[in-house]
Structures are given as C-alpha cells and as structure tokens.
Amino acid sequence: MPKLLRNLKSFYKTQKRDLPWRHTNDPYKILVSEVMLQQTQALRVIPKYEAFLKKFPTPQKLAKAKLSDVLKLWSGLGYNRRAKFLHQAAKIIATDGWTGGKLPGVGPYTAAAVEAFARNKPTVFIETNIRTVFIHYLFRRRSNILVTDIELLPLIEKALKQSKMQPRDFYAALMDYGSYLKQKGIKLNARSKHYTKQSRFEGSYRQLRGAILRAVLERPLTFDELIDITGRSSKDLAPIVAVLAKEGLIRLKNKKIYIAD
C-alpha cells in the first residue's frame, strides 16, 4: 500500500488530466459526466459533455427538453438508454431535488462518484481504472484466482484514509493513474471476476440499435422505410424495434415509428 500511494501522489502531482468536469462541484454536471463516461473514453466524452451542458445547463432545462433533442446531442456516444435515464433523472431532480429517491440509471457506483466529486465525501467505489491500479500493486502475483470487488473495496477505503487526500483528488488520481497504466500496456481487468469483454461493434446489435435511432431521429418512418434505410432484414430489425419501444426510446403510431417524445 505505501508504494501504491507514493506513486499515485507523484503521478497525480505531475500528470493529472485537465478534464472539464473537474472544474465544477455542481452535482448535476458531475452526474452528466459520470453517465457519459460509462463505457466511453474521456477524450470522446469531452466535446459531447461541453455541448450537452451548453444546451442543458441545469436539470430544469434538461427536464423540459424533448427526448429527441436529448438523443440528437447524445448521438455518437452510444448506449442511448443512458440519455433516456439522464432525461428521466433530470425530471425527478427538477421536481423533488436531490432527495427525491433513487434516480433512473444511477447505480451505487454513479451515486458514490457524484458524492465524492461534487460533495467531496469519502465514499468508497470502484471502476475499471481503479481496479487496474489495485490489482497491479496488490494482486500482481495472483494468477489462478480472479480478484473480486469485495476484496478490493476495503483496500480502497483504507487507501483513501491513509492517503490523507481529498476524496475528489484521490479518485481523480486513481482514474488518471489507471488510465496511464493501461496505456503502458498494463491491462489487468481480465483478472477481475467482474470483467466482461466488450463485444465487437461492427455488425453488432449495438450498432444496429444506433442506426435505427439515428434514422428515426431524422423523421418518423414506416417499418418498410427502416428496412430500406438500414439495409437489414425484417427479422433483424423487428426484435430491436420491440426492445427500443419497451425501453421508451421509440413509439409506434399509425404504422410509423417515432421518437418517444
């Protein structure tokens, strides 16, 4: 642990990343960044984050927006359900404030990250870069048994206390350092029990979901028009359209597909 903390502090002092969400304590802006950063690299998020907050600077502005406008700004980030959840969360925050109960799409990690980065509270949480740092320093010699988050979380809590760093700086440092280690070829998340390899995007279910939403954002479409635009079969499209409707991203009316504004 002493070596981990020594190297972490040294790295952060000289190589910390200048990211726009680190210049605010606004919990709404932190929430936007955390939702965008789920399964998306920071460099891809930056322009989307800045454009999103320019259009929707407060939860009240986002709550009043049409879902189609939210999805248009979100386009390119992928995992569009995140935009839907953020839109729903903004409506709850605008009406009930941050004490309104559990927010859609905000799990334990995101809730704890907002508390740490916005309110500087010593919450304990883990994500992919944090796993990399702790597995690299504390479980490097273990090869036959996968590392669990249950093992890591008490160590993260202990490291936070021993570091005497502000929580927001501690977690920012871990994320930056973990990202750096990965760039150096130290990729250890496969040794975590919670690691899931992301499927190939080209030709995938995710790619077709995105193509359907982009097409319908342009204008309402019949199913036959959607087949022509995507070049995919009815068999490919039908189950995805059904799921998108169930998720509340699209709706069917008068034999046409619309964004569910």
**Cβ–Cβ contacts within 10 Å for residue 65, how many?**
16
Q: Token pair for residue 116?
A: 């740490």
From the list 201, 51, 190, the residue with the least C-alpha distance to 128 is: 190
Query: In sequence order, which residues have a C-beta less than 8 Å from that of residue 110 and are 6 or more positions away?
Result: 31, 34, 35, 38
Catalytic residue check, 34: yes
Task: Please state, in angstroms and rounded to a whole number, the distance separating the CA atoms of residues 144 and 78.
Answer: 35
Task: Please state, in angstroms and rounded to a whole number, the distance separating the CA atoms of residues 150 and 195.
Answer: 14
Task: Please state, in angstroms and rounded to a whole number, the distance separating the CA atoms of residues 245 and 260.
Answer: 8
From the list 156, 106, 160, the residue with the least C-alpha distance to 129 is: 156
Q: Token pair for residue 68?
A: 């189609």
Task: Please state, in angstroms and rounded to a whole number, the distance separating the CA atoms of residues 83 and 87.
Answer: 6
Task: Please state, in angstroms and rounded to a whole number, the distance separating the CA atoms of residues 88 and 91.
Answer: 5
Backbone angles phi, psi at 251, to 5 degrees: -140, 155
Q: Could you tell me what percentage of the chain is helix, strand and coil, using 3-state DSSP and rounding each to the nearest 5?
A: 65, 5, 30
Active-site choice (34, 157, 202, 225) = 34
**Catalytic positions, written as ranges:** 34
